[in-house]
A and B are shown apart, each in its own frame.
Chain A
Amino acid sequence: GENVEQHPSTLSVQEGDSAVIKCTYSDSASNYFPWYKQELGKRPQLIIDIRSNVGEKKDQRIAVTLNKTAKHFSLHITETQPEDSAVYFCAATARLQAQLWSRAINQAGTALIFGKGTTLSVSS
Chain B
Amino acid sequence: NAGVTQTPKFQVLKTGQSMTLQCAQDMNHNSMYWYRQDPGMGLRLIYYSASEGTTDKGEVPNGYNVSRLNKREFSLRLESAAPSQTSVYFCASSEAGLVNEQFFGPGTRLTVL
Binding site for B on A (CB under 8 A): 6, 9, 31-32, 34, 42-46, 49, 51, 89, 91, 93, 96, 98-99, 106-117
Q: Are A111 and B58 in contact (CB under 8 A)?
A: yes
Q: Are A116 and B57 in contact (CB under 8 A)?
A: no
- CB < 8 Å: which of A42, A44, A112 contacts B98? A112
Q: Are A32 and B104 in contact (CB under 8 A)?
A: no
Smallest CB separation, A68 vs chain B (Å) = 15
- CB < 8 Å: which of B43, B57, B101, B105 contacts A96? B57
Q: Are B102 and A46 in contact (CB under 8 A)?
A: yes
Q: Are A116 and B42 in contact (CB under 8 A)?
A: yes
Smallest CB separation, A114 vs chain B (Å) = 4
Separation of A49 and B103 alpha carbons in the complex (Å):
13
Residues of chain B from 48 to 68 with CB closer than 8 A to chain A in the complex? 48, 50, 54, 56-59
Separation of A68 and B102 alpha carbons in the complex (Å):
23
Determine the chain B residues whose CB is within 8 A of the CB of A111 once the complex forms: 45, 48, 58-59, 98
Given contacts A93-B98, A114-B43, contact A43 B107 (CB under 8 A): yes
Separation of A34 and B102 alpha carbons in the complex (Å):
9
Q: Are B99 and A31 in contact (CB under 8 A)?
A: yes
Separation of A98 and B50 alpha carbons in the complex (Å):
17
Smallest CB separation, B17 vs chain A (Å) = 25
| Number of cross-chain contacts by CB at 8 Å | 65
Q: Does B72 contact A (CB under 8 A)?
A: no
Determine the chain B residues whose CB is within 8 A of the CB of A117 once the complex forms: 40, 42
Given contacts A99-B56, A117-B42, contact A110 B98 (CB under 8 A): yes
Which of B42, B58, B105 lies at the interface centre, i.e. has the most chain A CB atoms within 10 A of its CB?
B42
27 A–B contacts from the bound complex (CB under 8 Å): A31-B99, A32-B98, A42-B106, A43-B105, A43-B107, A45-B104, A51-B99, A89-B42, A89-B43, A91-B43, A93-B99, A99-B56, A107-B31, A107-B50, A107-B96, A107-B97, A107-B98, A107-B99, A108-B50, A109-B56, A111-B45, A112-B33, A112-B45, A112-B102, A114-B42, A114-B44, A116-B42
Q: Are A44 and B41 in contact (CB under 8 A)?
A: no
Smallest CB separation, B94 vs chain A (Å) = 9
